[in-house]
C-alpha cells in the first residue's frame, strides 16, 4: 500500500470521486492476489510465508487508465516489473490460485461510469504527485460486503532478502 504523501494524495482523489459519483470509498492499494478461497487463518499463514521470502519492493506508477469494469473503472497503472510479476505468481501459487494475467494498478474510482466521463476525469486529474513508493508490507483485508466495509485484518512486513 502506498504511504505518506502519495497515500494521502490518492485517498483525496478517491474521496472526491466517491462524493462526485456516489460510489464507494476505499483505501489506495495495489492488489497482489484476489479471489482467494482459503479461510482467513489459512490465508494469513500463506501471506506470512510469502512475506518472509520478500524484500521490500519498489513500485513505480505509470499512466492513468480506465476500463469498462466496476473495480477498474479509473486507475493508475503500475509499471510491471519482473519482481512484481514474480510476487503475483508466487502469491497465487501459495494461495492455490491460477496466476492468470496480472494488471498491476491502483484504483481511483469504482463504479459504472460512461467512457466519455472517465476520459474527461483523466484529462483534468492532477498527476503531479510522487510516482513511486516502496512496498514494505503485504496486507490481508476482509473484502466481504461493500468496499466501504472492507478492513485490514493484518499487516505482514516484508522481511526476506536480508
- How do the pLDDT tens digits run along the chain, 162 residues long? 888 888 999 999 999 999 999 999 999 999 887 777 667 788 888 889 889 989 999 999 998 999 999 999 999 999 988 888 888 888 888 777 777 788 999 999 999 999 999 999 998 887 766 688 999 999 988 888 899 888 898 999 999 875
Instruction: Could you please state the CATH topology (level 3) that the domain comprising 4-157 is classified under.
Output: Cyclic Phosphodiesterase; Chain: A, (3.90.1140)
Q: Locate 20 and state its grid cell.
A: 462526485
Q: Locate 143 and state its grid cell.
A: 473484502
Cα separation, 49 vs 43, in Å, equals: 10
Count of other CB atoms within 10 angstroms of residue 28: 21
Q: Locate 34 and state its grid cell.
A: 484476489
- Are 121 and 110 contacting, i.e. CB atoms less than 8 angstroms apart? no
DSSP codes of every residue in 94-118 = HTT--------EEEEE-S---HHHH
Domain ranges in the chain are 4-157
Long-range residue pairs from 155-159, CB within 8 A, at least 24 positions apart, any chain: 156/47, 156/48, 156/50, 156/51, 157/51, 158/51, 158/54, 158/55, 158/56, 158/57, 159/51, 159/52, 159/54
pLDDT at 104: 94
All residues at 6 or more sequence positions from 134 whose CB lies less than 8 Å from its CB, including other chains: 56, 57, 58, 59
Q: What is the pTM (predicted TM-score) of this model? A: 0.89
Cα separation, 150 vs 113, in Å, equals: 22
Cell 484529462: give the residue.
123
Amino acid at each position: 500500500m502506498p504511504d505518506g504523501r502519495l497515500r494521502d494524495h490518492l485517498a483525496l482523489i478517491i474521496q472526491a470521486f466517491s462524493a462526485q459519483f456516489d460510489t464507494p470509498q476505499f483505501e489506495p492499494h495495489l492488489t497482489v492476489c484476489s479471489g482467494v478461497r482459503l479461510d482467513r487463518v489459512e490465508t494469513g499463514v500463506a501471506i506470512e510465508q510469502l512475506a518472509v521470502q520478500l524484500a521490500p519492493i519498489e513500485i513505480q506508477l505509470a499512466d492513468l487508465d480506465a476500463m469498462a469494469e466496476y473495480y477498474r473503472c479509473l486507475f493508475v497503472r503500475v509499471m510491471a516489473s519482473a519482481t512484481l510479476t514474480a510476487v503475483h505468481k508466487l502469491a497465487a501459487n501459495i494461495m492455490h490460485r491460477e496466476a492468470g494475467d496480472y494488471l498491476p494498478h491502483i484504483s481511483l474510482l469504482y463504479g459504472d461510469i460512461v467512457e466519455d466521463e472517465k476520459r474527461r476525469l483523466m484529462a483534468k486529474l492532477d498527476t503531479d504527485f510522487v510516482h513511486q513508493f516502496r512496498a514494505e508490507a503485504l496486507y490481508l483485508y476482509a473484502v466481504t460486503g461493500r468496499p466501504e466495509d472492507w478492513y485490514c485484518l493484518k499487516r505482514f512486513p516484508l522481511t526476506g532478502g536480508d
